[in-house]
Amino acid sequence: MKKIEVVAAIIAHNKKILCTQRGPAKFEYISGKYEFPGGKVESGETNEGALVREISEELGLNVAVEGHYLTVSHAYPDFAIVMHSYVCTTESVEGMALTEHVDHRWLSPAELSVLDWAAADVPIVEKLQNEPNEFF
């Protein structure tokens, strides 16, 4: 089975977390799901470098990577992912513009479960809801 390595940003701002929604996708189990923005690591990149690049491309935001949060392995029916999540902060969200997502929400950890998350994200959402953090 194809295996991909992905980095994802838990962007904290004013004690809320940025949640982004994918548009229509090839696989129904990914289509329209909420996720943490990010993407695949390119060759020669560090995880942190890939994350800063992806967030700039997808959202026009300049983020600082504060630290590793949780790595999740998940097998979807057609491919498997290893996803490394990192807590990120940004000084300003002014001028944020979604280039790849169809919706975004800023939610507190307790509110995250109102969204329909990609399956691989569920362990991250659960950790965010169960463990207090200085950022949100």
Ligand X SMILES: Nc1nc2c([nH]c(=O)n2[C@H]2C[C@H](O)[C@@H](COP(=O)(O)OP(=O)(O)OP(=O)(O)O)O2)c(=O)[nH]1
Residues within the interface to ligand X (CB under 6 A): 6, 8, 30, 35-40, 81, 83, 118, 120-121
Token reading at 72: 């999740």
Q: With respect to ligand X, which residue has the nearer C-beta, 43 or 94?
A: 43
Find where tokens 């470098």 sit: 49
Cβ of residue 62: shortest distance to ligand X, in angstroms? 18
C-beta closer to ligand X: residue 13 or 54: 54
Instruction: Return d(Cα 44, Cα 13) in angstroms, integer.
Output: 30
Q: Which is nearer to ligand X, 117 or 135 (CB)?
A: 117
Residue type, 26: K
- Smallest distance from ligand X to CB 35, Å: 3
Which tokens belong to 124? Answer: 């991250």
Question: Residues near 134 by Cβ (< 8 Å), separated by ≥ 6?
Answer: none
Q: Smallest distance, Å, CB 69 to ligand X?
A: 12
